[in-house]
Amino acid sequence: MQTNEQLFARAQRVIPGGVNSPVRAFRAVGGTPRFIQRAQGAYMWDAEGTKYIDYIGSWGPMILGHGHPAVLEAVAKAAADGFSFGAPTEREIELAEAIIAQVPSVEQVRLVSSGTEAGMSALRLARGATGRSKIVKFEGCYHGHADALLVKAGSGLATFGFPTSAGVPPEVVQHTLVLEYNKVQQLEAAFSEHGREMACVMIEPIAGNMNFVRASVPFMTRLRELCTAHGVLLVFDEVMTGFRVALGSAQSVYAGLIPGFKPDMSVFGKVIGGGMPLAAFGGTRDVMSQLAPLGPVYQAGTLSGNPVATACGLATLKEIAKPGFFEALGARTRSLVDGLTAVARQAGVPMVGDSEGGMFGFFFADALPQNYGVVMGTDKERFNRFFHGMLDRGVYLAPALYEAGFVSAAHTEADVAATVAAAAEALKR
Ligand code: HOZ
């Protein structure tokens, strides 16, 4: 058996930083990343055989837990029929239909392989469809690592203290305006100055890359009004929230709060692939018809709509559409957050938390942050101590304070109780 430490040392010789995605390296929290060997249900086991209750769920996709039998069966059957054809399949239509059935703002959808690809393609399409160049994003919102969107993003960039990546020339981001999340006045000022030059505003409606921060209802209402008034496309990045916070995604949550609310375009990933590389972007038929081969906006991919990935996604969407699924998941997630904040209160530690469906976040602070600046000011040292205290007790939280957490349908009340008991101990440190 090789230890996590031995594997990490070996990995660092052949992979930059020993990982294929920066936040996995534990740089924010320190220590040795766990090399995962297998997972089942709500649990993962590392190379040393240590068992963890998993609250990352592959950073969102594993909403059913690991190794769900219906998903395994669908994947095995699809794999036996062929891994990739580079030609259309019926399953792609079925997945597109399944997405459209739950998200009324999406009339057509194109499948791709990653959230980054989906965000990048949505951006090109928004620019092509409007004939405009400027785009707006918000501090702390991460839309994948395409150049134009890698400005003041949260997630890994926040972890490493680089607001923007090196290798992104200033000319490439000269059309990207970055505003503060939840600041209505800034939004109004930006629209009055640049509204007619903007192609789109891209937003994580519930930001999961600065932990868990909701767009307020007044902010979202005004954003929708301004986009409509200026002919700017409102693009919801639902890579994290899509089919995770509700069956209709975060846009259904806002539609319940703001009558008639709809974004113009949406970006999905994670849950729609059930753990396989699959993502999508969609919108009105009008906008989507600008895409090649119908229109002039080019976008393509050898593995787009991959038959095994679509089987995995379809089987996952079928399970989560069952009656009562989100009610149960939401209740379990709320009970976790309530439990964590209750033991923190008992320990005299300021902690606040929030959740929607199966996505949650918590901060060592007195009040829930409304934007990135405030998130950055919450107690990072305390978070890091807590992270390790939980890991030592068999609870695997996201290894950075800037990331949301995820509960799956496989987590039981007993898992939540064990997690809360671990937290009570960890908070004593
Ligand atoms: N983009 C993810 C964090 N928000 C990290 C994905 C990973 O490292 O697997």
Q: Which atom of ligand 1 is nearest to the CA of 142?
A: 4
Burial class of residue 269 (count of CB atoms within 10 Å of its CB; 0-12, 13-18, 19+):
buried
How remote is the CA of residue 371 from the centroid of ligand 1, in Å?
A: 20
For ligand 1, atom 2, the nearest C-alpha belongs to 59
54 is catalytic: no
Taking CA 127 as the corner, what is the angle to CA 119 and CA 303, rounded to the nearest 5 degrees? 40
Q: 25-56: b or e for each residue (b if 16 or more CB lie within 10 Å)?
A: bbbbbebbbbbbeebebbbbbbbeeeebbbbb
Pairing of strands 206-207, 213-214: antiparallel
Please list the residues that pair with 14 across neighbouring strands. none
For residue 294, the model assigns a pLDDT of: 97
Residues 384 and 69: their CA atoms lie apart, in Å, by: 35
Residues 170 and 191: their CA atoms lie apart, in Å, by: 22
For residue 158, the model assigns a pLDDT of: 55
For residue 168, the model assigns a pLDDT of: 84
The tokens describing 2, both together, are 């090789």
Give the pocket of ligand 1 (CB within 6 Å).
Answer: 21, 23-24, 59, 155, 209, 403
270 is catalytic: yes
The answer to which of 28-42, 99-113, 149-163, 227-241 has the lowest mean pLDDT is: 149-163
* DSSP character string of 308-374: HHHHHHHHHHHHHTSTTHHHHHHHHHHHHHHHHHHHHHHTT---EEEEETTEEEEESSSS---SHHH
The residue from 142, 181, 396, 402 that is catalytic is: 142
How remote is the CA of residue 189 from the centroid of ligand 1, in Å?
A: 33
Q: What's the average model confidence in pLDDT over 176-182?
A: 94
For ligand 1, atom 1, the nearest C-alpha belongs to 155
Q: Is the pLDDT of residue 164 over 90?
A: no
Q: Is the pLDDT of residue 161 over 80?
A: no
How remote is the CA of residue 398 from the centroid of ligand 1, in Å?
A: 9
The model's pTM is 0.96
Write down the mean pLDDT value for the chain: 95
Q: Is the pLDDT of residue 426 over 80?
A: yes
For ligand 1, atom 8, the nearest C-alpha belongs to 21
How remote is the CA of residue 163 from the centroid of ligand 1, in Å?
A: 17
The answer to which of 94-103, 150-159, 272-281, 289-298 has the lowest mean pLDDT is: 150-159
For ligand 1, atom 3, the nearest C-alpha belongs to 155
77 is catalytic: no
Q: Which of 20, 24, 59 has most ligand 1 atoms within 8 Å of CB, for mutation?
A: 59
How remote is the CA of residue 155 from the centroid of ligand 1, in Å?
A: 8
CB 307 within 8 A of CB 91: yes
Pairing of strands 395-396, 51-54: parallel
Q: Is the pLDDT of residue 315 over 70?
A: yes
Walk across the sheet containing 43-46 and list its strands: 36-40, 43-46, 51-54, 395-396
How remote is the CA of residue 150 from the centroid of ligand 1, in Å?
A: 14
How remote is the CA of residue 403 from the centroid of ligand 1, in Å?
A: 9
The residue from 46, 54, 237, 415 that is catalytic is: 237
Q: What's the average model confidence in pLDDT over 408-424?
A: 98
pLDDT tier, 162 (very low <50, low <70, confident <90, very high otherwise): low
Q: Is the pLDDT of residue 316 over 90?
A: yes
Residues 115 and 194: their CA atoms lie apart, in Å, by: 28
> How many Cα atoms are found within 13 Å in the side-chain-facing hemisphere of 417?
3
pLDDT tier, 1 (very low <50, low <70, confident <90, very high otherwise): confident
Percent of the chain clearing pLDDT 90 (strictly above): 92
For residue 266, the model assigns a pLDDT of: 98
Q: What's the average model confidence in pLDDT over 203-227?
A: 98
Q: Which atom of ligand 1 is nearest to the CA of 23?
A: 8
Q: Which atom of ligand 1 is nearest to the CA of 398?
A: 3
For residue 353, the model assigns a pLDDT of: 98
How remote is the CA of residue 269 from the centroid of ligand 1, in Å?
A: 12
Give the tens place of pLDDT for each residue, 240-268: 999 999 999 999 999 999 999 999 999 99
Q: Which atom of ligand 1 is nearest to the CA of 22?
A: 8
Q: What's the average model confidence in pLDDT over 127-146?
A: 95
Between 153 and 38, name the one with better pLDDT.
38
Percent of the chain clearing pLDDT 70 (strictly above): 97
Q: Is the pLDDT of residue 75 over 70?
A: yes
Give the tens place of pLDDT for each residue, 386-396: 999 999 999 99
For residue 159, the model assigns a pLDDT of: 52
Give the tens place of pLDDT for each residue, 52-72: 999 999 999 999 999 999 999
Phi/psi of residue 57, nearest 5 degrees: 55, 45
Give the tens place of pLDDT for each residue, 325-351: 999 999 999 999 999 999 999 999 999
Q: Which of 20, 23, 34 has most ligand 1 atoms within 8 Å of CB, for mutation?
A: 23
For residue 151, the model assigns a pLDDT of: 75
Amino acid at 395: V
Q: Which atom of ligand 1 is nearest to the CA of 21?
A: 8
Q: Which atom of ligand 1 is nearest to the CA of 154?
A: 4
The residue from 264, 270, 396, 415 that is catalytic is: 270
